[in-house]
Structure 1
Amino acid sequence: MDKSKKNLIYILIAFAFMLLFPLIPAPEGLTTMSMQAFGLFIGIMILWNFVGIDWPSFLCMAMIAIYGLMKPAAIFSSGLGNATIGFLMVFFMLSHVLSQVGFSRRMAIWFMTNKIARKSSWAFVIMFLFGAMFVASFMSQTAALLIFLPIAEQIFRELDYQKGDRVPQMIVLGLGIAVGIGSANTPLGHAIILIPIQLLLEQTGLSVNIISYSIFGFITGLIIFAALILIYRFLYRPDLSRMKGYDVSHLRKSLPAMDKKEKISAVLFVIVIAIWIIQSCFKNLMIPFIGIKLSALGNAIPVMVVIVILCMWKVDGKPIMDYKESVTKGVPWSALIFNAAVLVLSGTLTLEDVGISNFLVEKVTPLVSGLNQGVFILIIAALCIIATNFSSNTVCATVFFTISAPIALAMGNVNMVALASVIGAAASYAFATPPSTMPMAVVAGTGWVDVKQMFKYGGLAAIASILILSFIGYPIAAAIL
């Protein structure tokens, strides 16, 4: 059966749920609105997972208005008008400029040519993968992968590796896993992290700032990265003898000197990071007026100011940032609209009039009453990481927070800020299957990685992530956040 026929079947099934589910008599504790929301949720999940995220996202928001679950003005304000969507848009633009001026590639090559990387073959591999993780912490994980992958393939050619060899398979698969880990290290440009954080703010009024989350994310990510290296070192056990003595200094020599555009862009990016640090950590240690003013700006405004500067600052007669190019090529609009629809749908499911949250609390609370918070977090993290390897990461982050939040509140012994952070990170740890994320699909499509090996070693990394996130990450998040 061709793809168009499969899509038609999925579309028909999805509409059947959306249109017929409300006709089913509501169980005790639910209403017709509850059944409408359930049917819409199931139908949209089918479309998002099997058809696409583009037009189904508009359908999602339209159906919510048609059913009267939320007014159109509320849909736009909680979706496309949400602060999370605005922040992602401007940061994607800034990230695009950093890539265009060559700063991102410069960072990538520095990681594999520094003194530590030259100490041994294993040191080179570790620093190469660590570099991918680090860069993915500050930009799209797909973009980070596409910076490192051509460099890796150049190295394979120079060392005469062939497709099917174990060393290049380890490195390419490691790149996919490393950028996945990096995507959970910070909320910068990563909607998966921002979705549960935004839902937490809307439902409880509790907020998570960028720096505080990043401390939790980096510590947890570094431990998971160390676990990946141990898996490779003692279970995969590649023969790195061909890499012994390999000189990568020519990669650094091939880089042109930093030009004025790159220097200005890099300095402005560092200034943005510094402002975020001041906002979250040092606002009370500075002149009160300055600290209050900077904190009031939020996360997106400093990026907007930098974009304005880059568009106005001309070098050799041309602005550093081409605004139209950054908006059209740097911003993944389909993904942003998808994330907006996810926020709207999640907000709908938690509305008091819809009644689903109260229903879950009433039915599930007796089952989890007295349950140890560590066990609860382990269950949520495990289910979320397993699910995210077979479905949309953003959807997993939304669904698991929407379901677990009212239950956790009813339990009374769960740190809600830490829970949102753990779910955001867990939904990012998709390492085991090609459909799980775009980077893993790209990795599988290179021909360097066998899908069975991806499932085996990516799965081991996912299991390690479950344990580390539950027993190390959650306590760290609870202490810091």
Structure 2
Amino acid sequence: MSANLKEDKQVSMIKYYVNSAITILLIFGFQFLPAVKPITPYGMQMVGIFLGMIYGWSTVGIVWPSLVGLIALGFSKYSGYSVVNAFKEGYGGDTFLFIFFVLTFAAVIDKSGVTRVMAKWMVSRKIAKKRPYVLLLLLLTAAFLIAVFVSVMPSIVICWSLLYQFSDVFGYTKKDQYPKIAVVGIVVAACMGVNVFPFKAYDVMMTAVLTKSTGLNVDYVPFTALTAVIGYCVTLLYIVMAKYIFKPDVTLITKSDFVYSDTEKLTSYQKQVVALLAAMVILMFLPGFLPANLYLIKLLKWIGNTGIFVLLLAFGVFIKRKDGTLFINYADCVKTGVPWETMALMGTALPMASALTAAGTGVQEWLNQLLGPIFGGHGAFLLIVLVVAITIIASNVMNHVVVGFVMMPLIIQFSSPAGISPMLLTASLCIISQIAFILPSGGPLAAFLHGNREWITANEIYKYTIPFVAVSIVLSIVLCTTIGRLIY
């Protein structure tokens, strides 16, 4: 057994170094291949870096392919042949800093314990008594809201913990279908909530690409309206499919008088944290409701979104709690709240997305030639169908961040000729790319779901997610072509 394990490790190491060599070869060597017109030699260099990073992200990891890709970008005309300029744009830009402070702020909320109190309050409603699908609705809604206002991982971990408690009380075992369906459903709801606000990390990355290419700025109100509708409707769809298609045995719940009552009240500190969260939401959305000529709105725009989060964090670090301790332990929140692998990917992907289709590369012209017959000239409806279907299917195979950066140039290129707002497709992309649960390669959350072998097997995940993803494609298309067109 140990010999086989050693052999497997050797094979894994060989694959790692072979894939690493291919990654480096693509990043630095692709540019020497003959240019495919209308792509220029400069464009071949950009395509090579992009392909190399995608291959590296998919096979060997996130961090070093991102760093090497950014160094390669520093040897190009795009960054003025300066590695320093490449890193300044990637790691020193407003988008990178904004996401950094947003994630730090989210860690403040999570560490306060507010999320657990929120989840417990939600599932303790008496309306859930003897009603298994109402209980599932409350549990998934809690997961959705925690992901919206805080972060996705606390949402999943807390709601899974509550589910395990319910299962024990009702008499469900790890072999029963109802808790298995709920395990998947919690991940679905969390993924549907995580990108509702346009200042979440993935949304900021995608909208930054759009803004840099088109000059369009994000209006938070319509963006959030569309993502919230799609996200929560997809969550409700899962509950409907659980009841009418998956049909688990729910008699243990319908015959029980149990109502969850292990609730907690917010402490004075947690109430203060909630007030800080409310202040953040108000300040971020206020410009969408009040006239632009008001002094307050002008001031908020002058400070900028990044500045708002910095000021809120600075205020939290400045004040002290009654016992003299820090209201916000900034260093601890940065340490636990910022996923540095994601930050490394973002620091490279943001400038790379702009560089790929920059003037003089010929990539935009090539995309027109290659994909014009598919994406162009067919009107808004077909474009929405193609974007939604391709995004969701691809996101279940490869990391949704990669899918997003591949799809954004197509959205920018073909939306206006089709008579549709690129912001509609961008907002839709941000939420539907999270419908990625089938394969572990779909992203860290899909891998996290597949890693819960104690409660659900891979075959059971396929049983629930494959039909759900298929129906989600249809629902997303309907919502984008109706509500989406009304909003945008």
Is the structural similarity TM-score above 0.5? yes
1:306 and 2:317 matched: no
> Paired residue for 2:388?
381
Residue from 279, 283, 297 that aligns with 2:287: 279
The question of 1:13 aligning with 2:19 is answered: no
Of 108, 113, 127, which aligns to 2:138? Answer: 127
- How far did 1:363 drift? 4.4
The Cα shift of 1:369 comes to: 4.5
Stretch of structure 1 that moved more, 288-297 or 344-353: 288-297
Q: Deviations over 1:59-85 (max 9, x none)?
A: 110011124442345423432123222
Unaligned runs of 5+ in 1: none
Instruction: Give 1:12 shift.
Output: 1.5
1:226, 1:427 → 2: CA distance?
A: 17
Indicate if the aligned counterparts of 1:393 and 1:428 stay in contact, CA closer than 8 A: yes
Contact 2:99 2:204 survives alignment (8 Å): no
| Farther off after superposition, 270-279 or 453-462 | 453-462
What do the CA deviations read for 1:392-417 (whole angstroms, capped 9, x no partner)? 111111111123322334x2422111
Pick aligned residue for 2:183 from 172, 175, 187 = 172
Residues in 2 aligned to 1:333 and 1:224: alpha-carbon distance in whole angstroms: 30
Q: How far 1:310 sits from its partner (Å)?
A: 1.4
The structural deviation recorded for 1:341 is 1.0
| Amino acid of the structure 1 residue aligned with 2:18 | I
Deviation per CA, 1:85-138: give whole Å up to 9, x if none: 222211211211111111111111111012433462221111111110121112
Query: In the alignment, what sits opposite 2:61?
Result: 52
Matches within 5 A, 1:65-76: 65-71=74-80, 72=83, 74-76=85-87
Q: Residues 274 and 327 from structure 1, CA distance in 2 versus in 1: closer, same or farther, beyond 3 angstroms?
A: same
Q: Aligned match of 2:195 in 171, 184, 190?
A: 184
- TM superposition shift of 1:266: 0.6
CA distance in 2, matches of 1:325, 1:368: 47
Measure the CA separation in 1 of the matches of 2:177 and 2:199: 33
**Alignment partner of 1:158: what SS?**
helix
1:390 counterpart = 2:397: yes
Distance 1:9 1:247 in 2: 56
1:28-47 map, 5 Å = 28-47=37-56
Contact preservation (8 Å) 1:364, 1:407: no
Alpha-carbon separation, structure 2, partners of 1:433 and 1:364: 27
Deviates more, 1:140-149 or 1:291-300: 291-300
Which position in structure 2 is the counterpart of 1:264? 272
Q: Name the CA shift for 1:313/1:168 in 2 (closer, same or farther; >3 Å).
A: same
Q: CA RMSD in A?
A: 2.0
Distance 1:323 1:370 in 2: 52
| Greater CA drift, 164-173 or 110-119 | 110-119
Structure 1 counterpart of 2:459: 452
Whether 2:410 is the aligned partner of 1:403: answer yes
For residues 317-342 of structure 1, what are the alpha-carbon distances to aligned partners after superposition, in whole Å with 9 as ceiling and x for unaligned?
10111111011111112211211211
1:224–1:464 Cα contact (<8 Å) kept = no
Sort the Cα spacing of 1:210 and 1:82 in 2 relative to 1 into closer, same or farther, 3 A. Answer: farther
Residues 197-220 of structure 1 deviation map (CA, whole Å, 9 limit, x = unaligned): 111100001111333211111111
**Alignment partner, residue 148 of structure 1:** 159
> How far apart are the structure 2 equivalents of 1:422 and 1:118?
36
Alpha-carbon shift at residue 466 of structure 1 (Å): 1.8
Asked if 1 retains the 8 angstrom alpha-carbon contact of 2:117 and 2:266, the reply is no
Q: Secondary structure at the match of 2:221?
A: helix
Residues 376 and 414, structure 2, Cα contact 8 Å, conserved in 1: no
Partner letter of residue 322 of structure 1? Answer: N
Quote the offset at 1:22 in angstroms.
2.0
Q: String of CA shifts for 1:243-292, please: whole Å, max 9, x gaps.
A: 2335343321xx2x4222211111111111112221112245xx821232
Q: 2:259 & 2:91 partners in 1: Cα distance?
A: 46
Distance in 2 of aligned mates of 1:73 and 1:207: 28
Rounded to whole Å, the distance in 2 between the matches of 1:366 and 1:463 is 25
Residues in 1 aligned to 2:113 and 2:168: alpha-carbon distance in whole angstroms: 23
* Secondary structure in 2 matching 1:321: coil
Residue equivalent to 1:86 = 97
Q: Does 1:327 align with 2:334?
A: yes
- Distance in 1, matches of 2:448 and 2:217, equals 35
User: What's the % identity of the aligned pairs?
Assistant: 22
Q: How does 1:231-270 map to 2 (within 5 A)?
A: 231-244=241-254, 245-252=256-263, 255=264, 257-270=265-278
Q: Where does residue 161 of structure 1 map in the other structure?
A: 172
Distance across 2 between alignment mates of 1:297 and 1:476: 33
Decide which of 216, 219, 233 is 1:206's aligned counterpart.
Answer: 216
Distance 1:21 1:153, change over 3 A: same
Distance 1:468 1:329, change over 3 A: same
SS in structure 1 at match of 2:127: coil
Q: CA deviation at 1:388?
A: 0.8
| Cross-structure match for 1:61 | 70
